[in-house]
Structure 1
Amino acid sequence: MKIAIAGAGALGSRFGFMLQQAGNDVTLIDGWKDHVEAIRRNGLNVTINDKTFNVKIPTKYPSEVTADMKMDLIIVFTKSMQLDDMLQNIQAIITDQTSILCLLNGIGHEDIIEKYASKQNIFLGNTMWTASLVGPGHTQSFGDGSISLQNLVDGHASEAKYLAACLSEAGLNAEYTDNIHYSIYRKACVNGTMNGLCTLLDADMAAVGATRMAHKIVTTIVNEFAAVAKHENIDLDTNEIIEHVESCYDPKTIGHHYPSMHQDLIKNHRYTEIDYINGAISRKGQKYGIATPYCDFLTELIHCKEDIVLKNDPVIN
């Protein structure tokens, strides 16, 4: 299968590596110059559970994508605020036969993807795989993960199941679900707690979980997500989700992982996706007349943190 990874950061690079190792024809597409040039020059370094692999893998800037690079599958791994620009830049490789799988953090990305692809070719998913960037051209991760996905349009479940099988052949543990919106909200609860808290406290998930106030904060945020989801006919099991979030604290699994928002802002001095996670809940809360004070405040605090961290960054300014 010809596969493009649109947004080849930490997790996109790991997926590209695993899919290539399974025999697929994979191309990475990314706009970060240092990362692209490092892969071109030295190959992609992938560290998994303390073992490092080095592979040659085609890597392109979005501006280098041409119509002759038609793809069977595009997996989008951009930041939410970069999705529209990425798809606009690579639309030459999107045909009526191209499937697009969205695994982005956050809520509502299908509205953007529909501008560039037929609804029947769009698949929504979420993943519990994790990864971080050691530096340009080097992704690192620990443990295993999974993917759940579903077709956006009714009547295309067979295509979704086929896609899940192809990903599972690469060891990505993908499965079809008939309720992806529940799964997306469930994952968004993890992101809506761990991403913002780890970023503001400059701590990994185990350290956040060890604080005295962690349970109260996580419980309140999850309940705000659940109140919004209920207005969209999604009934979240809050007790199970809180337990799921708190399982992330375990240092024997992923507790020492720093979530992507921390990597973006604290490590790499980039803007965050907060407006597509807690900020999305705030907007939906206003729409439905639901109070979401913790999500509101967390979103505001992250924007304050962005102002502090990025104020004097020469690349940003």
Structure 2
Amino acid sequence: MKIIIAGAGAMGSRFGIMLHRGGNDVTLVDGWPAHVDAIRQNGLKANFNGEDITEHIPVMLPSEVKGDTKADLIILFTKSMQLAKMLQDVKPLIAENTKILCLLNGIGHEDTIEKYIPMENIFIGNTMWTAGLVGPGEVKLFGNGSVELQNLGQNQEDAAKNLAKVLSESGLNAKYSDNIHYSIYRKACVNGTMNCLCSILDVNMAEFGATKPAHDIVVTVVNEFAAVAKHEGVDLDIDEVVAHVESCFDPETIGKHYPSMYQDLIKNNRLTEIDYINGAVSRKGKKYQIPTPYCDLLTQLIHCKEDILGAK
């Protein structure tokens, strides 16, 4: 399958490597020139569960995209605030039957995607895989994970199941979901706690979990997400979601991992996706007249930290 990874940061690199090793024709598209140059010159380097590997995968900047070869599948891994521009940039690669799979963090991305792609070709999902960007052209991949996905268009269930099969054949443990919005909100609760709190406190997930207030903070944030989700027809099991979030604290699994927002802001001095996670809950709370004070404050604190650090 001809697959384009649109956004080849840490997670995009993981999927690119695994799909490439699984025998697919993969091309990476990323807007970071140093990253693209490093991959071109030296291959995409990864520490893959303790093994150092190098995969030579074609890579290009968005400005270099041409329509010579159309994609069978485009997997979106760009940052949320870059989504619309990336969709415009990869438009020459989109044919009538090209499928789009969005695996971005955050809520509501389908509203942007459907401006560019027919609904029957849009698939959304989330992933519990982790990855870390060490530097240009180099990532760290560890642990196990999974993918859930669902079609947005009518009568596209078979196509969604086939996409899950393609991903699973490359070891990505993908499955079809008939309630993906539940899974997206559930994952957003992880991002809406671990990502922003670890970035503000400058800790990994296990270190945050070891603090006395951690449980109460997680419960409060999850309740805010759940109140908003309920107005959108998604009924979160709060106790289960809290337990799911707190499973991230375990240092024997992924507790020592620094979430993607930490990597963006603290490590790489980049602007974050907070407006599409806690910020989205804050906006929706105002729309539905639901108080979301923790999400309001966490969003503002991350923006303060972006300003303080001069993130770009």
Give the TM bin, normalised by the shorter chain.
over 0.9
Counterpart of 2:159, as a letter, is: E
Q: Deviations over 1:243-292 (max 9, x none)?
A: 00000011111000000000000000000000000000000000000000
Equivalent residue for 1:39?
A: 39
Distance in 1 (CA, whole Å) between partners of 2:12 and 2:57 is: 13
Q: Which runs of 5+ in 2 are unaligned?
A: none
168-177 or 111-120, larger mean C-alpha shift: 111-120
Taking the aligned partners of 1:258 and 1:196, their CA distance within structure 2 comes to 11
Moved over 4 A (4+): none
Q: Give the aligned partner of residue 272 of structure 2.
A: 272
Task: Provide the residue aligned with 2:154 in structure 1.
Answer: 154
Q: How far off is 1:219 after superposition?
A: 0.3
In structure 1, C-alpha distance between the alignment counterparts of 2:138 and 2:183, rounded to whole Å: 29
Counterpart of 1:12 in structure 2 is 12
SS, match of residue 97 in structure 1: strand
State how 1:166-185 maps to structure 2 within 5 Å: 166-185=166-185
> 2:39 aligns to what SS in structure 1?
helix
- CA distance in 1 between partners of 2:294 and 2:99 (Å): 37
Matches within 5 A, 1:136-285: 136-285=136-285
CA offsets 1:66-106 (integer angstroms, 9 cap, x no match): 11121000000000000001111110111111000000000
User: What amino acid maps onto 1:62 in structure 2?
Assistant: P
> Which deviates more from structure 2 when the two are superposed, residues 275-284 or residues 111-120?
111-120
> Residue in 2 aligned with 1:307?
307
Tell me the CA shift for residue 154 of structure 1.
2.4
Q: TM-score of the superposition, structure 2-length normalised?
A: 0.99
Alignment partners' CA distance in 2, 1:150 and 1:37: 34
Residue type matched to 1:223 in 2? N
User: What corresponds to 1:104 in structure 2?
Assistant: 104
Tell me, what secondary structure is at the counterpart of 1:100? Answer: strand
Give CA-to-partner distance per residue, 1:277-311, whole Å, 9 cap, x none. 0000000000000000000000000000000011x
Query: Percent identity among equivalent residues?
Result: 67
Preserved CA contact (<8 Å) 1:63 1:90: no
Distance 2:106 2:98 in 1: 23
The answer to whether the 8 A contact 1:96-1:117 is kept is no
Instruction: Give the deviation of 1:31 after TM superposition.
Output: 0.6
Q: How far apart, in 2, do the equivalents of 1:46 and 1:115 lie?
A: 35
Corresponding residue for residue 288 of structure 2 = 288
Q: Provide the aligned length of Structure 1 versus Structure 2.
A: 312
In the aligned structure 2, how far is the partner of 1:245 from the partner of 1:169?
Answer: 28
Q: Can you give the 5+ residue segments of structure 1 that lack an aligned partner in the other structure?
A: none
SS in 1 for 2:134: strand
| Counterpart Cα distance in 1 of 2:251 and 2:103 | 25
Task: Please state if 1:118 is matched with 2:107.
Answer: no
Structure 2 distance, partners of 1:37, 1:102, is 25
1-structure distance, mates of 2:198, 2:154 = 38
Aligned to 2:74: 74
CA distance in 1, matches of 2:189, 2:170: 27
Secondary structure of 2:96's aligned partner: coil
Tell me how far 1:59 sits from its aligned partner. 0.3
Q: Give the RMSD, CA atoms, in angstroms.
A: 0.7
In 1, Cα distance between the equivalents of 2:153 and 2:294?
Answer: 34
CA contact (8 A) 1:3 1:73 kept: yes
